[in-house]
Amino acid sequence: MPGERECEGAVRTLIRHFADDATREGLRDTPRRVVEAWTHWTSGYLQDPGEVLKCFEDGAENYDTLVTVGNLSFFSLCEHHLAPFWGRAYVGYIPRGRIVGLSKIARVVEIFARRLQVQERMTRQIADTLQEHLNPLAVGVCLRARHSCMESRGVQKVGAVTTTSALTGEFKTDAAARAEFLRFTECTWGDAL
């Protein structure tokens, strides 16, 4: 894996390639700042999402209906252009004798967002991780995001929103459970991102 100096050198090369003077005052510290920013933006690779999912049997007695956490903002980087995409996540599950600390759901979203991503994979990773570690009756994940690679280049459709979902268990097999989850996501998000 390249070291910090090598990464900073790559940033200087990019600056020179796009016709600016990497040594001028305003750009002199940019390589260091870019490496620091990318270290943060890709910090999800250093975390195991399964390790943050603290589950409780206490509090889950006979609770077998929908639990949802919504309006979880996230920022990620598109793996095709290394351009930002951002949006909101909505996650729900139906417990099977165990519940999870609600902040842990937000942490799982954050871990997968802090990797080079495509929205479809990220949606599935969140759902699969919760299904594997909680063993609930169902998991549902919806992500709504705007992609700067689509807004600022190519087709240039500013404000376009991409919605992805992943469903497991009863959300796939029970139409009423699925409708309840999807209704909650629609009510929470509205049209704004």
89-125 tens-digit pLDDT: 999 999 998 899 999 999 999 999 999 999 999 999 9
- Global confidence as pTM: 0.91
Q: Which residues pair with 84 in a beta bridge?
A: 77
Active-site residue, selected from the candidate residues 47, 55, 149, 180: 149
Active-site residue, selected from the candidate residues 119, 133, 142, 170: 119
Active-site residue, selected from the candidate residues 7, 47, 55, 81: 81
Q: Which residues pair with 56 in a beta bridge?
A: 99
Cα distances (angstroms) measured from residue 107 to each of 65, 67, 130, 131: 22, 16, 12, 15
Domains and CATH numbers, the chain: 4-41 (no CATH), 47-189 (3.30.1130.10)
Give yes or no: 55 in active site: no
Q: Which residues pair with 141 in a beta bridge?
A: 91, 166
Give yes or no: 17 in active site: no
Give yes or no: 147 in active site: yes
Give yes or no: 25 in active site: no
Give yes or no: 57 in active site: no
The residue to which tokens 């609930």 are assigned: 136
The residue to which tokens 């004798």 are assigned: 97
What parts of the chain have a pLDDT lower than 50?
187, 189
Active-site residue, selected from the candidate residues 8, 110, 133, 147: 147
Give yes or no: 40 in active site: no
